[in-house]
Amino acid sequence: MNADVRNLVALQDVEQRIAGLQKQISEIPAKIQNLHDELRHLKQTHEQRVAHSLEIAKKRRAFEGEVDMLRSKLSKLKDQLMTVKTNKEYTAMLHEIQGAETQIRGEEDKILEFMEEGEQLDKELKSVKKDLDRRCLEIQGSIQALEQSVPDLESEAVRLQQQKQAMEGVVEAELLARYRRIADARKGMGLAEAKDELCTACHVRIRPQVYADLRQTDNVHVCDSCSRILYLRDTL
């Protein structure tokens, strides 16, 4: 293989690693923001569950207070029942007593519903709280790991940039410029591996003579389809 092409393959590998690191670094802020958003959503959801549980307890207490008032009223009505003097007053008083008892039963049914709902909510809150605490710790750990990874990634990118500059110096200038033009037009990939008589970048078949020449000579060949400089990995 042409020595300059061999150096270009190594250069392209380094450039791809640099690009990968830069992409990784650029994505970290969004990843951290997504984790913060998830953390905030989890906490807000839990707070809403807690608020709902407190509201149920508040409603139950309100109904319990209403029942206490009704029981007090009922007690007074029963005392008054003993003092009425006419059948009409007695019948009216009985009707009022029955109405109060019916209302009490209805309120007590509601209290029971609130108690059952409250107990279920409390069980769910205890279970969810454990999962919430665990997930919050995981998210905070992920955020910390991402933040701490940035300096190392940036340091590695700088090291590879220096390596890249050194590697550019050993490639023939005209071929390097040619590689750059192709790479700029092909998303950073100026070379393509030739394998099984195919260009692995565009998957178009390479002419047999060109493929044979790649194996037997140091000539520089490009893919007829995508114009990338071809190389054979097994001859590096």
Are 160 and 215 in a shared domain?
Answer: no
* Total length of the chain: 236
CATH number for position 26: 1.10.287.1490
Enclosing domain of residue 182: 174-235
Are 44 and 132 in a shared domain?
Answer: yes
Final residue before a domain boundary, out of 170, 190, 212: 170
Are 162 and 183 in a shared domain?
Answer: no
**d(Cα 221, Cα 200) in Å, to the nearest integer?**
14
Question: Per residue of the chain (236 residues), what is the pLDDT tens digit?
Answer: 789 999 999 999 999 999 999 999 999 999 999 999 999 999 999 999 899 999 999 999 999 999 999 999 889 988 888 888 888 888 888 998 999 999 999 999 999 999 999 888 888 888 888 889 999 999 999 999 999 999 999 999 999 999 999 999 999 999 999 999 999 999 999 999 999 999 999 999 999 999 999 989 899 999 999 999 999 988 76
pLDDT at residue 85, rounded to an integer? 83
Final residue before a domain boundary, out of 120, 154, 170: 170
Are 151 and 225 in a shared domain?
Answer: no
Final residue before a domain boundary, out of 113, 138, 170: 170
pLDDT at residue 82, rounded to an integer? 83
pLDDT at residue 231, rounded to an integer? 95
> First CA to last CA across the chain, in angstroms?
7
Q: Are strands 191-195 and 198-199 parallel, antiparallel or unpaired?
A: antiparallel
Are 131 and 161 in a shared domain?
Answer: yes
Are 186 and 86 in a shared domain?
Answer: no
Number of structural domains found in the chain: 2
Give the chain's mean pLDDT.
93
For 84, residues 6+ apart whose C-beta sits below 8 A from its C-beta are 90, 93
Are 108 and 223 in a shared domain?
Answer: no
Are 135 and 85 in a shared domain?
Answer: yes
Are 188 and 229 in a shared domain?
Answer: yes
Of the candidates 207, 43, 25, 19, the residue with the CA atom closest to the CA atom of residue 128: 43
Are 38 and 97 in a shared domain?
Answer: yes
